[in-house]
Structure formats: structure tokens, C-alpha cells
Amino acid sequence: MIHEPTIIGIADGTHYLVGVTDDNGNFSSLPSLKSVAICQSLADAKQVLRDQHIATATLNLQSAYDEMCGLATPSMTCETIFL
């Protein structure tokens, strides 16, 4: 099973979550950390991954407003970032 380093940001959120996503889309902590890292900025989130010697990650930006607009599934913007 592949674990992709991932940063999740929510629109209007005050923090970013740093962990890994598996093949089934489950999000969990990095194997080298005991829990999902909570960072106050995207720069801090990237540094957590750099400190773990990770060079690339997926950045997922999600909107909490999609269901308010009647969309069936929340949209997510995914981008590969190089650290």
C-alpha cells in the first residue's frame, strides 16, 4: 500500500493538517510521527515534511461551502508540491 505525504487545507480554516493518504483515500499520521501534525501556516506544514526528509507531497485544498451550494460531493483542488 502506498502512503502519499499530504497537506490538507480547508477554506477559511486556521490550520493545515500534515500526514499521509493511502490508496483508499484514508488520511493518517506520517509513519515517523505519532499523530497528524497541525500547523498554523502552509510554510510550517511544508517544514514538517522537510524535517522528515520528504521532497514532494500532495496539497489538498477543500471547501466547506460546497454542500451549502447544493453540490453532491465536496470539490477538492489537488496539487503536487515540491519541497
**pLDDT attached to residue 46:** 97
**pLDDT attached to residue 59:** 96
Nearest Cα residue to 54 out of 2, 6, 1? 6
Q: Provide the whole-model pTM.
A: 0.84
Mean pLDDT of the chain: 88
Non-local CB neighbours of 30 within 8 Å, separated by 6+ positions: 5, 18, 19, 20, 37, 52
**pLDDT attached to residue 77:** 80
> What are the residue ranges in the chain where pLDDT is below 50?
none
**pLDDT attached to residue 70:** 66
